[in-house]
Chain A
Amino acid sequence: MKARRKEEGRWAWRLTGFVTLCVYIFMFAPIVATVILSFNASMFGGFPMTGFSLQWYAKLMGNEAVLAAFRTSLWIALVTAAVTTAIGVVTAFALVRFEFPGKQALSTLVILPALVPETILGVGLLVLIKAIDQPRTMLLLVLGHILLAVPYVVLIAQARMVGIRRVYEEAALSLGASRFSSFREITLPLLIPAVVGGALLAFTISFDNTSASLFWRPAGVETMPTQILSMLKISISPEINALGTVMIVVTVGIPLIGGLLMQSLTKLRRRSEPKEEAR
């Protein structure tokens, strides 16, 4: 009886492992297929492979529309990351350290942009600017992206902020530091992992954004995802696979390198300050 029970447990565990493996394959198979196909020599964007070729990458580098979209997305994402991180981190600071009326309402409101479907956010903003008779501008698009990224930056910074004890700041204040310099010298350095993590996430959220950008972009402006979408409407060419691969390398490579850099930085600092308290 007992042996049979044990056997059942083992099978259940094996089943769990098997489903897990399937889910991971499911997650990555299409992406791997896309990367492989981007090197296909064939004229058509599909299997079978007819040979190895970099021609689609060469063609991509000569595609002015794609390059323009890439530049547009890049600077929008950079501005979004910088601004969102700045305003998100001070908001998280205020939400964790201060008591003020409406604090609870604000912390709920601030995560709403992550929960409300982008289509609704997209239409809402368009209706508003139509009602006050304003054109769609780049500024609107960037501010919209900041709105979409704010919840994530605030949540990440809040999570980190909670772990930083306020006595450090208060010690600096009691020693005569100004409010601003105690934040800059004490709080901000301790917050750095959240700042970097939040900035990277804000960058990718903006760089990836599709649905809302379709509503908000000014006439004639394409961001990278909307450009891919309009290319897909024509046909699936191997060029799109190459473009996808470049995007994957950019958006996965940057956070990975950033993460590794952070890890080695903290390790270095740990070594130089062996007495840092264990959290």
Chain B
Amino acid sequence: MNNRWTLYDPRLAWMLVAPVLLLLIFFLVLPIAVMAAYTFFTFVTAGVETSALTTANWQEFFTDSYYSGFLLKTLRVGAITALLCGVLGYFPAYFIWATSFRHKWLLLLLLIVPFWISFTIRTFSWINILGEQGVINVALLKMGIINAPLPMLYNEGAVILGLLHFLLPYMILNVYVSLEGIDRTLISAARSMGCTSAQAFREVTLPLSLPGLAAGLLLCFVLAAGSYVTPQLLGSGRDALFGNLIYDTIMSELNWPMGATLSIVLFLLLGFFAAIYTRYMGMSQIVKGLGG
């Protein structure tokens, strides 16, 4: 027993995790703490602020409908994207799980490949589909169905489409992982007891795959609501989301206290959703989904 203590000495564990722990403290915990303090700093002029404490930033945030408008739009876009991902992502996940196709790994690999392709490239590639000289417009013009190119780019629909394109693999993999965890004999049992395949799906498969679906919804919602590049490339100025607002406040207006306030708002809000989720589902499903 004595030997075991020296073998798995907690002090050695601390030494092993020290580099990652320091990184997390100095690059994650401390920045968020400092940012929280910054929300009470006084904005003087672009790029200049004093540490005189004030609640002006928070007052401005809560009274100016400009900010709440941005917030509501961001939450709406995030929710629509997550729900569409859930609906569209469930089918492929179920298909991959249930198919008798021998090269299932190929279908899974094709879902992972987009993760390797630069996000910026995947996003701008939609311009080649939706743009004035994109596939759809050129084809419709050639066929004589339309006379002038349809304006499909630079609106909220295009932003949601781009987010959907980015987030679908996350959703499909999350649902697939939880489907893989289902004991298939349960479904056979339901069938042998007289369930139709639809009933077996509704009563057994669907409820058991809900944790994966919920993890996927949370992940898609959080990532969509925090996005910056997609609205920048596929949306017009009106379609900017909260991430763009934060970027502009800090990088263009140089209003650091307000930028910090907006970041903390987004952080708390998304954290709130994540907390509700983990309260009911636990962290394990997200961990599985992220680890692939």
Contacts and interface: CB of A to CB of B under 8 A. Distances in A.
A31 interface: yes
Contact of A210 (B119, B125, B133): B119
Interface in A219-273: 224-225, 228-229, 232, 236, 240-241, 244, 247-248, 251-252, 255
B193 interface: no
Contact of B286 (A23, A115, A152, A251): A115
B20 A150 contact: yes
B128 A95 contact: no
Given A106-B21, A229-B229, A127 B94 contact: no
Contacts of A130: 256
Interface string A193-231: 000000000001001101100110000000011001100
A147 B263 contact: no
Contacts of B125: 30-31, 33-34, 244
Interface in B11-42: 12-14, 16-17, 19-21, 23-24, 27-32, 34-35, 38
Nearest 8 Cβ contacts at the A-B interface: A46-B133, A117-B226, A124-B31, A98-B13, A30-B125, A100-B10, A19-B91, A94-B16
B31 A87 contact: no
A211 B228 contact: yes
Given A98-B8, A211-B228, A252-B113, A225 B118 contact: yes
A248 B115 CA distance: 11
Interface of B: 7-10, 12-14, 16-17, 19-21, 23-24, 27-32, 34-35, 38, 88-89, 91-92, 94-96, 98, 110-111, 113-122, 124-129, 131-135, 138, 142, 164-165, 168-169, 172, 196-198, 219, 222-223, 225-229, 232-233, 243, 246-247, 250-251, 256, 259-260, 263, 266-267, 270, 274, 283, 286-287, 290-292
A210 B89 CA distance: 25
A75 to B, nearest CB: 17
B31 to A, nearest CB: 3
B38 A127 contact: yes
Contacts of A173: 7
Interface of A: 5, 8-9, 12-13, 15-17, 19-20, 23-24, 26-31, 33-34, 37, 44-48, 87-88, 90-91, 93-95, 97-101, 103, 106, 108-121, 123-128, 130-131, 143-144, 146-147, 150-152, 154-156, 158-159, 170, 173, 179, 204, 207-208, 210-211, 214-215, 224-225, 228-229, 232, 236, 240-241, 244, 247-248, 251-252, 255
A20 B91 contact: yes
Contacts of A156: 291-292
Given A123-B260, A126-B250, A228-B120, A46 B16 contact: no
B283 A108 contact: yes
Given A94-B16, A154-B20, A128 B165 contact: no
B247 A214 contact: yes
B208 to A, nearest CB: 17
A217 to B, nearest CB: 12
A47 B117 contact: no
A39 B116 CA distance: 22
B120 A241 contact: no
Nearest to A209: B119
15 contacts: A20-B91, A30-B125, A30-B165, A31-B117, A33-B125, A45-B128, A47-B134, A115-B222, A127-B31, A154-B20, A155-B290, A211-B243, A215-B250, A228-B121, A229-B233
A220 to B, nearest CB: 15
Given A119-B247, A211-B229, A251 B116 contact: yes
Nearest to A48: B138
A137 to B, nearest CB: 14
A63 to B, nearest CB: 16
A247 B121 contact: yes
Nearest to B126: A30
Contacts of B165: 26-27, 30
Nearest to A113: B28
A248 B229 contact: no
A150 B24 CA distance: 9
Contacts of A146: 23
Given A118-B228, A123-B35, A210 B120 contact: yes
A173 B274 CA distance: 42
A31 B122 contact: yes
A121 B31 contact: yes
Nearest to A36: B128
Given A91-B17, A155-B287, A247-B117, A33 B35 contact: no
A33 B137 CA distance: 13
Contact of B118 (A12, A94, A208): A208
A88 B20 CA distance: 7
A99 B8 contact: yes
A117 B226 CA distance: 5
Contacts of A144: 27
